[in-house]
Amino acid sequence: MEEVCCRLLSYASIELPPEVEVALGAASERESQPKARAYFKAILENLRIARERRLPICQDTGVPVYYITLGSQLPIQGNLREAIHRATVRATQKTPLRQQVTHPLTGENPGTNVGWGMPAIFFDYEDGVDHLDITAIPKGGGAELKWSCVVPIPGAPREETILKTVVDAVAMVGGESCTPNIVGVAVGGFGVDYTEALARRAIFRSPLNSRHPDPQVAALEKKLFQAVNKLGIGPLGVGGDTTCLGLHMEVAGTHSAVFPIAVALYCWAARYSKARIHGDGRVEYITHPQLGEMTHD
């Protein structure tokens, strides 16, 4: 567990998931605005240099966040949190990652990206499987701070309100979220914390810009994706044809009187890496298969 998490966090900071880089390349090729094309060229060159020099894509290497899904049939021994903490310290030192986790009152910085409840670890559960899924995410302080959540008045028209809320949320941020973004949307749930968490997790759905299994949700995702890209914000806010690389929406049951709507954004440097540890100890690196060829550090 420690070795896998160390590899995931370190590699996520250096090399984007292939599907994200492909989406950026496709956006660059179809871009009609000269200034936007120049920005896309710079983004793609940035990715090439980071890969070749084995350096982080962005100077803001973020704070470490992990999503863990535990299978009910997987026997686990030892302390998962301690393993993830050790992995984070190692990844911070070897990548290297900027030492950003500090005490909120004193500013004390241990230099490890660990401490005072960090890294953030979110656990989920899947019944009937004997594997463990991990997503490691270095979350920066740009797009991550631009989320929004609203609770419309009772009786508001559902689809129209969702469309307006999402488009307004992206438009108000403009290029400050390091566009083009991956947009996560959640409708339902109860309480800002739950709805927002659903929207943030929706960002990391694979494949990128895939559709929800519910046809009604999938149709709304498509409308939202097209509407956001009509805003013309473009890469880094300079104007252009692509404001959104992908939009994923999740829904949850909610109180009959309300339907909360949350919008979360992730910047063009959409850094995340996924792996699966099987019950027999086999590791499957999902977003970055080349990690399986690495020798133990």
The structural domains of the chain, ordered by start, are 2-11+57-140+272-293 (3.30.360), 142-266 (3.30.1330)
Name the band, by pLDDT with cuts 50, 70 and 90, for residue 142: confident
Q: Say if residue 297's pLDDT is above 90.
A: no
Q: What average pLDDT does the segment 109-136 reach?
A: 96
Name the band, by pLDDT with cuts 50, 70 and 90, for residue 296: low
Give tens-digit pLDDT for 264-276: 999 999 999 999 9
> Using CA atoms, how far apart are residues 59 and 276, in angstroms rounded to an integer?
28
> Using CA atoms, how far apart are residues 214 and 188, in angstroms rounded to an integer?
15
> Alpha carbon 280 to chain centroid distance?
29
Name the band, by pLDDT with cuts 50, 70 and 90, for residue 76: confident
- Answer with the residue of higher pLDDT: 153 or 43: 43
Name the band, by pLDDT with cuts 50, 70 and 90, for residue 164: very high
Q: What average pLDDT does the segment 28-50 reach?
A: 97
pLDDT in the model for residue 154: 82
pLDDT in the model for residue 274: 97
Classify the C-alpha dihedral 122-23-95-98 as positive or negative.
negative
> Using CA atoms, how far apart are residues 187 and 70, in angstroms rounded to an integer?
25
Give tens-digit pLDDT for 184-229: 999 999 877 899 999 999 999 999 999 999 999 999 999 999 999 9
Classify the C-alpha dihedral 93-94-100-104 as positive or negative.
negative
| pTM reported for the whole predicted model | 0.94
Give tens-digit pLDDT for 227-253: 999 999 999 999 999 999 999 999 999
- In whole numbers, what is the pLDDT of the chain averaged over residues? 94
Q: What average pLDDT does the segment 260-287 reach?
A: 96
> Using CA atoms, how far apart are residues 198 and 270, in angstroms rounded to an integer?
17
pLDDT in the model for residue 193: 84
pLDDT in the model for residue 257: 85
pLDDT in the model for residue 141: 83
Q: Say if residue 12's pLDDT is above 80.
A: yes
Structure tokens at 118: 């960090």
Q: Say if residue 294's pLDDT is above 80.
A: no
> Using CA atoms, how far apart are residues 288 and 273, in angstroms rounded to an integer?
7
Phi, psi of 276 (to 5 degrees): -130, 125
